[in-house]
A and B are shown apart, each in its own frame.
Chain A
Amino acid sequence: DAKTTQPPSMDCAEGRAANLPCNHSTISGNEYVYWYRQIHSQGPQYIIHGLKNNETNEMASLIITEDRKSSTLILPHATLRDTAVYYCIVRDSGLGFQKLVFGTGTRLLVSP
């Protein structure tokens, strides 16, 4: 199974960039990397996803290494409302089904 590894927690000052890393060394060639975040007791919110190229949207940027074994989610100007748990997910199709395997998540705390 494709697995992800994330640091359990990170801190960031308000207004600064938050860089959240994720390792996915067993990812296969056709599998996408997704990032979601979860605010306490709510359903996870989609942020961004990518295959091999760097991606950017209104919320964040996703940088994927050339070997695809790791990626970094960048929140360019973190606000207090970005405090949440961030999950890096790899779509796992090893069994022919779309099994969604979650990483441990990173708890990001944005401080004033």
Chain B
Amino acid sequence: DGGITQSPKYLFRKEGQNVTLSCEQNLNHDAMYWYRQDPGQGLRLIYYSQIVNDFQKGDIAEGYSVSREKKESFPLTVTSAQKNPTAFYLCATTWGPSNSGNTIYFGEGSWLTVV
């Protein structure tokens, strides 16, 4: 089936550790996004990428890093510099320019908890 796969679904991080959340898509979409969602809150943009080997900071990029070495993959690393990483993380993809009206697809999300 085509779609977006996020893994792991649940992840626990110890203080001072870096962790990486995986986002893989087989939709052949150009653009990929990472969002953070805190309980009861909306989605906030962390990073986004329109093309391989290129990405841009979103509104809350501090303490996070990404790479886009392949079109299909956009992993998010939560570094030890992120002081409050406990949240729900969502990956999304789309293709084409913003005026083409194409649908945005979301993964099922990953829960990260600091222990």
Interface of A toward B, CB cutoff 8 Å: 30-32, 34, 36, 41-46, 49, 51, 87, 89, 91-93, 95, 97-105
Contacts and interface: CB of A to CB of B under 8 A. Distances in A.
B88 A41 contact: yes
A92 B42 contact: no
B48 A43 contact: no
A30 B99 contact: yes
A98 B98 CA distance: 6
Given A43-B108, A97-B48, A102-B42, A32 B97 contact: no
Contact of B109 (A30, A41, A46, A98): A41
Given A97-B31, A97-B56, 20 more contacts: A32-B98, A36-B106, A43-B90, A43-B106, A87-B42, A89-B104, A93-B99, A97-B48, A97-B50, A98-B97, A98-B98, A99-B48, A99-B58, A100-B33, A100-B45, A100-B104, A101-B45, A102-B35, A102-B42, A102-B43
A29 B99 CA distance: 9
A43 B34 CA distance: 12
Contacts of B50: 97-98
Contacts of B111: 41
Interface in B30-89: 31, 33, 35, 42-45, 48, 50, 56, 58, 88
A49 B98 CA distance: 12
Nearest to A6: B42
Q: Pick the most buried of A89, A98, A102: most chain B CB atoms within 10 A of its CB.
A: A98
A95 B55 CA distance: 13
B2 interface: no
Given A43-B90, A46-B104, A100-B48, A93 B97 contact: yes
Nearest to B33: A100
A101 B108 CA distance: 19
A32 B101 contact: yes
Q: Pick the most buried of B90, B98, B106: most chain A CB atoms within 10 A of its CB.
A: B98
A49 B99 CA distance: 12
